[in-house]
Structure 1
Amino acid sequence: MATLPNGIRHLPGFLDRAAQEHLVEAIRRIVAEAPLYVPAMPGTGKPMSVRMTNCGPLGWVTDKERGYRYQPTHPATGKPWPAMPPELVEMWEQLAGYPKPPEACLVNFYSDNAKMGLHQDRDEVEFSAPVLSISLGNTCLFRVGGLDRKDPTGSFKLSSGDIVLLGGEGRLAFHGVDRIYPGTSTLLKNGGRINLTLRRVNP
């Protein structure tokens, strides 16, 4: 993709290998406390192809009955989400250009055949804070469009250690993951891709 929509920034290779490995260890501790689960689409109850969990004061969840929302507890265990690792908060402070800390970090695990359809991140109250996305593991093909689902889209690859910020005019851009490229990273010993999405929910 030659040029990204306004407000969307791609920072290739922002995290070196050591920083990536450190984050993966932090995520393992989060998952031990707040297990990955399979979310369901609102209305249809169709399972999504990713598994997910969260850390921070709030977590993004979805199910058939109540749909997309943020809540302070894990839907399966009922326990509060684990604290957000300080290195994620520091990254937000360095890159987000927003005065308050992130409230939610969604952890998505993509197996090598998982994908994510085009969607907007619009379940938050606060849209002046960007969405900060961190890629770990196998490369994916990331698709981004405009503010309308019918707007033209373009794609580019995200590798392990890359960061994407959706802010400004691009904060509500439609985006998704078309595919995962197996065997493109040795970071996760069983393959797949982890995506961390930091968001500020409330003003």
Structure 2
Amino acid sequence: MSALFPRERREVAPGALHVPGWLDDAEQARLLAACRAWARPPAGLETVVLPGGGVMSVRSVSLGLTWQPYHYVPVTAAGEPVKPFPDWLGALGRRAVAEAYGPAAGEAYAPDMALVNFYDDRARMGLHQDRYEAGSEPVVSLSLGDTCVFRLGNTETRTRPWTDLELESGDLFVFGGPSRFAYHGVPKTYPGTGPAGLGLKGRLNITIRVSGLARPPQNE
């Protein structure tokens, strides 16, 4: 989705930074190719079923650890070992945190997992907190494909106040500090708005995280 005016880097809330166009075309293409490889079985793209029987509209694949209601585990719902978290993706996460908070913060950032969510034309994500990690290190969010409305709320409730902004392909969003446990979600996507040259129908969101959980080492 093209903007009439250049989109500016901005702090949306204390500790929450939006950097438009952070990934260049080559980086987006590399990340998309990796997502497509991760989505293949075993431990590929899956649909999460909630305890009450509800089915999440996004489909997901995890690296390092996977989220199953309401904790992280090293195997999928089908009992398959989760794919390893690659070093190069960790380096990208450190670069993102350095972009947001400075070189020292980037050097100290040690992510060990990622969650990749795929949004088709109908998929949405309700307001939620990322609170199943053992610590409070920042979450790095990268967008590929179609533009979405990203809703960043407050840390107390799912109700207002919140801020809506558009995340486009290549955008970086980092939330930490006072905004680390803010409610957030995706109420809307705009089908057909992704870059034509990328070759992606739909939206991919990659969130890089520090689990803070002790577990056996994985083979790369």
Instruction: Say which is worse superposed, 17-26 or 84-93, in terms of deviation.
Output: 84-93
2-structure distance, mates of 1:179, 1:115 = 6
Q: Which of 143, 160, 180 matches 1:135? A: 143
Tell me which residue corresponds to 1:64.
none
Q: Is the 8 A contact 1:60 1:104 kept in 2?
A: no
What per-residue deviation string (whole Å, max 9, x for no partner) do you get for residues 76-127 of structure 1?
A: 2x22221223331111222332625212201100001111011111111111
Deviation at 1:195, TM superposition (A): 0.6
TM-score normalised by structure 2 residue count: 0.82
Secondary structure of the residue aligned to 1:32 is coil
- Aligned residue runs from structure 1 range 17-28, under 5 A: 17-28=25-36
1-structure distance, mates of 2:118, 2:160 = 28
Q: Is the 8 A contact 1:84 1:105 kept in 2?
A: yes
Tell me which residue corresponds to 2:67.
60
Q: Which of 64, 74, 77 matches 1:75? A: 77
2-structure distance, mates of 1:47, 1:25 = 27
Opposite residue 191 of structure 1, the aligned amino acid is K
Opposite residue 194 of structure 1, the aligned amino acid is L
1-structure distance, mates of 2:54, 2:66 = 20
What per-residue deviation string (whole Å, max 9, x for no partner) do you get for residues 120-176 of structure 1?
A: 11111111x101111011000000111122341110000011111110000001110
Report the number of matched residues: 193
Q: Is the 8 A contact 1:102 1:200 kept in 2?
A: yes
Opposite residue 204 of structure 2, the aligned amino acid is I
Opposite residue 59 of structure 1, the aligned amino acid is T
Greater strand percent: which structure? Answer: 2
Percent identity between the aligned chains?
41
Tell me which residue corresponds to 1:181.
190
Instruction: Say which is worse superposed, 150-159 or 166-175, in terms of deviation.
Output: 150-159
Q: Is the 8 A contact 2:127 2:184 kept in 1?
A: yes
1-structure distance, mates of 2:28, 2:125 = 23
Distance 1:46 1:188, change over 3 A: farther
Tell me which residue corresponds to 2:177.
168
* Aligned alpha-carbon RMSD (Å): 1.8
Q: Which of 166, 190, 194 matches 2:204? A: 194
Runs of 4+ residues over 6 Å off in structure 1: none
2-structure distance, mates of 1:124, 1:19 = 27
Tell me which residue corresponds to 2:95.
94
Gaps of 5+ in 2: 1-9, 98-104, 214-220
Tell me which residue corresponds to 1:114.
123
1-structure distance, mates of 2:11, 2:117 = 26
Q: Is the 8 A contact 2:15 2:176 kept in 1?
A: yes
Q: Is the 8 A contact 1:26 1:85 kept in 2?
A: no
Opposite residue 84 of structure 1, the aligned amino acid is F
Q: Is the 8 A contact 1:135 1:196 kept in 2?
A: yes
Secondary structure of the residue aligned to 1:143 is strand
TM-score normalised by structure 1 residue count: 0.88
Q: Is the 8 A contact 2:11 2:17 kept in 1?
A: no
